[in-house]
Amino acid sequence: MPGNDTKCFVTTINLSLASKLKGDLEEQGFELKKPVYTVFQAKKKGVSLTLYESGKLMVQGKNKHEFITYYLEPEILQDLAYSYPEKNVEMHERIGVDEAGKGDYFGPLCIGGLYVNGEEDITKLLKMGVKDSKRINDDKILKLAKEIKKSFKYSVVRIFPKRYNEMYNTFHNLNQMLAWGHASAIEKLVEDTGCSSAIIDQFASEHVVEKALSRKSVEINLVQRHKGEEDPVVAGASILARASFVEGLDELKEQFALKLPKGASAQVIDAAKIAVIKHGETILQDVAKLHFKTTEQVLIG
C-alpha cells in the first residue's frame, strides 16, 4: 500500500510496469540515470523519482502531488490511496451530481450530473485525472469537461442570473433551488440510462433533495455524503458544473463588456459598483444573484 508524508511518497509497484513507466517519463521530459541498486532514477524540475530493484518507488519534490494525482495513480498504481486515503473507490454503476457558482455573486448557478456504468467508466475517469474541481485550475477544468462530455452520458443545468433571480423569488431558499437543480440533473440521466443509484455532495437535510425527486416522480437510491467530491463520479460532475459556470461567466462578461470576478469579495463589490455606474441598477438582475448581501453593499454601502 502506498504511504506519503510532506517530503516524499513511497509505494511498491510490479517491476513488469518498469518499462512503461520509463517510457512515459522520457516522453514527459524526465532525465534518467541508473544509480546502483536501482532500475532507474528520473528527474525533472519539481519532481524526482527512484525505482529500486525491489520494486520500491519513491517520489519527491514540490510538484510531486500533481505528478502522482494526474499520472502515477491512474496510469501505474490504478488506485486513489494517495489522493483519497480515507475512501475506497466504489466501482458500481451510478450517477454523480455536484454544483458550481453557489457562492459566486456574479454568474450562473450550475449543476452537473455524470453517469458511469461501472468499473470500466470509473477507470477511464481516473486515467483522465478527474478530481474535485476545486483542486483544478480553470484551463484544466475546461479541457477535462470536454473529455468527459465525449466519453460519458451527462447532464448540466445552468441557471443564468436573470432566471436565477426569478426562481429565487419563487423558492425563497437557495437549498430548495439547489434541490430542484440536482433533481433535474438526476431525472435527465435516469431517463437516458435507467440507472437506479445516485450520489451527491450533501448540502442540506436529506429530505430536501428527496422531496424534489419525489415531485418529479424519480425513484432512485440516493446517497448524500459530506465531501461527496471524494467520489470520482461526483468529482467528474463537479468538473462539468464548474466548466459550465466558467463558460457562463465569460458569456456575461462579453455580453455586457464588464469585469465580473468570481466569489463575493471586496473586489466583487467594486466590480458591481462599476457595472451599476455603467448600466444602471437593473444590470445586477442580469449578471448577479440579487439575494446576496453583496447587493445591499453595492447599492447602499
Residues of the binding site for a divalent metal cation: 98-99, 201
Please report the beta strands in 80-212, taking only residues with DSSP state E, as ranges in sequence order. Answer: 94-100, 109-116, 153-159, 197-201
DSSP codes, 43-92: EETTEEEEEETTSEEEEESTTHHHHIIIIIIIIII-S-TTT-TT-PPP-S
Dihedrals phi, psi of 102, to nearest 5 degrees: -60, -40
- Determine the Cα–Cα distance for residues 5 and 255; give it in Å rounded to an integer: 47
Name the β-bridge partners of 159.
109
DSSP codes, 248-295: HHHHHHHHHT----SSSSHHHHHHHHHHHHHH-TTHHHHHB-TTSHHH
Annotated binding-site ranges: 98-99, 201
Cell numbers given for 219: 425513484
- Cα 292 to the chain's mean position, in Å? 24
Q: What angle do CA 108, 241, 205 make, to 5 degrees?
A: 90
- Determine the Cα–Cα distance for residues 159 and 112; give it in Å rounded to an integer: 12
DSSP strand pairing (153-159 vs 197-201):
unpaired
Helix (H, G, I), strand (E, B) or coil at 198: strand
- Determine the Cα–Cα distance for residues 236 and 255; give it in Å rounded to an integer: 29
Residue type, 134: K
